[in-house]
Amino acid sequence: MKVTDTSDLWWKTAVVYNLDVETYLDWNDDGVGDFEGLAHRIDYLAELGVTCLWLAPFYPSPQKDNGYDITDYYGVDPRYGHLGDVVEVFRTAKDRGIRIIVDLVVNHTSDQHPWFREALKGKDNPYRDYYRWRDTPPKNQKENAFPDTEDGTWFLDEKSGQYYRHSFYRHQPDLNTANPVVRDEIAKIIGFWFQLGVDGFRVDAVPYLLDDDTPDDPYDFLRTVRRYVGRRSGTGMLLGEVNLPHHEQFGFFGAEDGDGLTMQFDFVTNQALYLALAREDARPIATSLQSRPVLASSNQWGNFVRNHDELNLNQLSEEERQFVFEKFAPEESMRLHGRGIRRRLPPLIDSDPRRLAMVYSLIFSLPGAPVLYYGEEIGMGENLDLSGRESVRSPMQWSDQENGGFSSAPKRKLVTAVTEGGFGPEYVNAAQQRHADSSLFTFIRTLVQAYRNSPEIGWGEFALLEQPHDAVLAHSLRTDTGHLVALHNLGSEAHTVPITLERIEPESRVVDLFHDHVLQPDGKGQLEVPLDGYGHRWFRVVRPGDKRLT
């Protein structure tokens, strides 16, 4: 991928916001969110400071898996509008300086997709090899992604007597991405959406996408896709879902060359965050950050608190996972697939505003780009009355009006139920928080601006700072022109934190970015920083003569 200057690497310092059109805003009041409604909320996202909007699948689908079971990669589910509405959202977002990425779901299709319907007609059908088939399933087949729902990954097509593979639900047959014709189809999909104006793709279930493709070089397909993205869009990006240990993720980036995925979500640090919160001990986060490989300059991590699936804890040990379960999901109904929690953050920590602020401050300060899931900015809770992963996919809460301002349709017509109780829209909504100085929305907006004013976070050299408190994470990020320091206390006890700042010039000042405080290190760069229980502080080291605003 040809890069002309650092501005081409916009994802290095992006603020990403993920939403599902069907649950964001219903403009025509039929009970389902739509693109016209989203168009009317682009200014809200711009006000928050979002620079990249990630849209969950909006393609035609039987909706058996939240739209991830696709029947047409080139269309729009008619419930949400049509391509004209999509392009209008793209245009409006671009006018506000917001880039767009969409889901690329090419590990599988719906079993209702025309390709699979053709494949079922017989072994000689030209679409048969679009999918993976066997006469008998392997004896030691890989575990299904939903082991408590699906028995294995191969399902019998009784008409032909052959089995097709499905890494996920049986109604989602796996595409044979080793087939050059399928790869050409994927390239056409990518090219189509680039032509309509997207800036990149969130690539779904990447390890499953590459499985069995090219045993000698399993990442060859990713490199091919990355090169194609570079040809079609010099600034296009690929944000991959790869829930693996850091050393295994490195290959998906393209290792030292960085010619694979552009970005990846850091699932390891995400899971370490919840272990750290449960223990009130920052060391799991520090250990995770130290295990990150050094990336090529064009690559980046995506840091997140929550996403649209269960809070997956599969990278933790069994003992660690059970500890987090007992702390944050004590009831079996709060857990899913034996590995995850189907709750949002605020209810886990009893909506403690100190802990909420500390967590989001931490995520925004870590090296990488922050990724927000809709409703996080106002502290939405989950709806455990909904099944499975749907618990965290309830409609966006815009106001304290009927249905949270999401829709004026009768409740029975809503695409999914609005959360009720203490986290319902009468208590948690965007309208109230946008005008409250002490609200979570206002704090997140402040964080977004601080992040966007701190290129060190996306570009800087990361270092953990030594200090004696297990509950505290202290780290620095520095470039040739900037030096940022952040401290976060995951425990309830206040501390005075001694740190030493290396390589700072004499007479440099240390300016608090959220408060009107200036600290003066001694001649050895040493400071003692007061830190409240669940406290957080960001500092910029200001060199003599530095004219940068702080």
Give the span between the Cα atoms of 265 and 376, in whole angstroms. 17
Single out the residue in 451, 472, 488 at which a domain terminates.
451
Cβ contact 195:74 at 8 Å? no
Q: Which residues contact 64 (CB under 8 A, 6 or more apart)?
A: 110, 169, 171
In a domain, 487, yes or no: yes
* Per-residue pLDDT, 155: 96
Are residues 135 and 225 located together in one domain of the fold?
no
SS3 (DSSP) at 311 = strand
13 part of a folded domain: yes
Helix (H) or strand (E) holding 275: helix 267-279
Amino acid type, 343? R
- The pair of structure tokens assigned to 275 is 């272990």
CATH number at residue 537: 2.60.40.1180
pLDDT band at residue 466 under the 50/70/90 scheme: very high
Residue 263 has pLDDT above 60, yes or no: yes
Catalytic residues: 204, 241
Average pLDDT over residues 397-409: 98
Q: Is the pLDDT of residue 69 over 90?
A: yes
Shared-domain flag, residues 446 and 464? no
Whole-angstrom Cα distance, residue 368 to residue 239? 12
Answer yes or no: is pLDDT of 4 > 60. Answer: no
Q: How many residues does the chain have?
A: 550
- How are beta strands 483-489 and 495-500 bridged, if at all? unpaired
User: Residue 547: inside a domain, yes or no?
Assistant: no
Cβ-count burial of 438 within 10 angstroms (0-12 exposed, 13-18 middle, 19+ buried)? exposed
Reading the block at residue 46, the tokens are: 């711009």
Q: What is the mean pLDDT of residues 56-84?
A: 97
Domain for residue 197, yes or no? yes
Per-residue H/E/C for 126-163: CCHHHECEECCCCCCCCCCCCCCCCCCCEEEECCCCEE
The stretch 311-335 carries a mean pLDDT of: 97
> What is the structure's pLDDT at 6?
64
- pLDDT above 80 (res 325): yes
Residue 397 pLDDT > 80:
yes
My answer on whether 405 and 438 are in the same domain is yes
Considering the domain architecture, whether residues 213 and 161 belong to the same structural domain is answered as: no
Side chain identity at residue 409, one-letter code: A
Position 517 scores a pLDDT of: 86
How do residues 484-513 score in pLDDT, each as one tens digit?
999 999 999 999 999 999 888 888 889 999
pLDDT score recorded for residue 5: 53
Same domain for 389 and 444, yes or no, is yes
Under 8 Å between Cβ of 295 and 247: no
279: tokens are 């223990």
Residue that is last in its domain, among 451, 477, 508: 451
Range 127-156 average pLDDT: 92
pLDDT of residue 210: 85
The helix, strand and coil proportions of the chain, stated in percent and rounded to the nearest 5, come to: 35, 20, 50
The whole-model pTM stands at 0.96
Domain boundary among 387, 416, 451: 451
Residue 248 lies in a domain: yes
pLDDT at 7: 67
Q: Please report, for the domain that includes residue 253, its CATH number.
A: 3.20.20.80
Same domain, 278 and 344: yes
Quick one: average pLDDT of 37-62? 98
What pLDDT, on a 0 to 100 scale, did the predictor assign at position 215?
A: 57
24 CB contacts (<8 Å, ≥6 apart)?
33, 37, 38, 41, 374, 395, 396, 406
Half-sphere exposure of 422 toward its Cβ, with a 13 Å CA cutoff? Answer: 4
- Residue 550's pLDDT is 72
Residue 170 lies in a domain: no
Which residue range is the domain that position 350 belongs to?
A: 6-107+177-451
Render 320-334 in DSSP notation, one character per residue: HHHHHHHHH--SGGG
- With 90 as the cut, is the pLDDT of residue 38 above it? yes
Task: Check: CB of residue 363 under 8 Å from CB of residue 370.
Answer: yes
CATH code of residue 147: 3.90.400.10
SS (H, E, C) 465-510: CCCCCCCEEEEEEECCCCEEEEEEECCCCCEEEEEECCCCCCCCEE
**Chain segment 279-298, per-residue pLDDT in tens:** 999 999 999 999 999 999 99
447 and 432 both lie in a single domain: yes
Q: At what angle do helices 220-232 and 180-196 cross, to 10 degrees?
A: 30
Same domain, 93 and 192: yes
* 221 within some domain: yes
For the chain, what percent of residues have pLDDT higher than 70? 97
User: Within this chain, do residues 381 and 513 fall inside the same structural domain, yes or no?
Assistant: no
Q: Does residue 225 sit in the same domain as residue 283?
A: yes
Please check whether residue 289 is in contact with residue 365, taking contact to mean a CB–CB distance below 8 angstroms.
no
pLDDT digit string, tens, across residues 94-123: 999 999 999 999 999 999 999 999 999 999
Residue 229 lies in a domain: yes
Q: 131 pairs with which residues across the strands?
A: 175
Domain count across the chain: 3
212 has pLDDT over 70 = no
Q: What is the mean pLDDT of the chain?
A: 95
Residues 283 and 430 in one domain: yes
Residues 425, 482 share a domain: no
Q: Residue 370 has what DSSP assignment?
A: E
